[in-house]
Amino acid sequence: MTTAPEDDFSPVWSPTGEEIAFHSNRAGNYDIFSVRTDGNGAPQALVATLEGERAQDWSRDGKYLLYERITTETGVDLWYLERAAGTSDWEPHPLVQTPFAETDARFSPDVQYVAYVSDETGQDEVYVRSFPDANRKWTVSPGGGQMPRWSRDGKELFYRKGSELVAVSVSTNPSFSLQSAAPLPGVSLGEHYDISPDCRRILAAVPTSGAPERLIRVVQNWYEEFRDHEQD
């Protein structure tokens, strides 16, 4: 098994499972690399600039890779890499550039929309933009939201609001629309979570109330239990 250096972060699987994209500060600032999952070959740089870049999500068709770009002018913006047809080259494109922080972006399954988080109202909210033009925009989480995640069929969009997980029924055909939203009962989340492809399971980092209690158990006359078997 190969382990990643301590300066490699946030692995993102390609849709085929043959590559993993990640960002690393091995060169002094965050750049984005990809590596084959079969262990053949060294990591290859996908985008490396004097700014910082952090990998976010790979489109289901494998053509695009979302990432955050951190600049001194506009803070954290959303960009995407587009794979040139028939090659292994990637071309960078801006998606959302504002004076606010745009983070945690995820492609819809049909790659027509991008869900992301912005603090443009003074608090984190979940938004959806059309892709790749980004001309149309919808607010998904009035009242605060983070970490949007699409269901595999694109009919639901989940996000975290505090420790709650909110499920939003959506439609992406013929255009994006919001239908209903409700917190999932009995679900309490920590900082990170993800949804299984069938939407039947939630993988979450759940905070604990403290260190587990440590007990010392003393067993007396333990040998008596085995005395009858000494001659076996």
Residue 52: inside a domain: yes
- Is the pLDDT confidence value at 153 over 70? yes
158 or 204: which carries more pLDDT confidence? 158
Give CA–CA dist 76/177, Å, rounded: 27
Average predicted confidence (pLDDT) for the chain = 86
Residue 201: inside a domain: yes
Identify the residue whose tokens are 């938004």: 127
Residue 224 DSSP class:
H
Give CA–CA dist 225/70, Å, rounded: 66
Counting the structural domains of the chain, the total is 1
pLDDT of residue 212: 57
Nearest to 63 by CA among 15, 120, 2, 8: 15
Residue 137 DSSP class:
E
Banded model confidence at residue 160, pLDDT cuts 50, 70, 90: very high
pLDDT digits 0-9 by tens, 120-150: 999 999 999 999 999 999 999 989 999 999 9
Banded model confidence at residue 21, pLDDT cuts 50, 70, 90: very high
Q: Domain range for residue 36? A: 8-227
Q: Which of 32-46, 74-88, 95-109, 216-230 has the lowest mean pLDDT?
A: 216-230
Give CA–CA dist 189/199, Å, rounded: 16
Residue 1: inside a domain: no
Residue 3: inside a domain: no
Q: What are phi and psi of 157, to 5 degrees?
A: -130, 120
Banded model confidence at residue 157, pLDDT cuts 50, 70, 90: very high
What are the beta bridge partners of residue 96?
78
Residue 2: inside a domain: no
Residue 232: inside a domain: no
pLDDT digits 0-9 by tens, 52-81: 999 999 999 999 999 999 998 999 999 999
Residue 185: inside a domain: yes
Banded model confidence at residue 215, pLDDT cuts 50, 70, 90: low
pLDDT of residue 223: 46
Banded model confidence at residue 89, pLDDT cuts 50, 70, 90: confident
Banded model confidence at residue 200, pLDDT cuts 50, 70, 90: confident
Side-by-side strand order, sheet with 164-171: 146-150, 156-161, 164-171, 177-183
Q: What CATH number is attached to the domain comprising 212? A: 2.120.10.30
Residue 218: inside a domain: yes
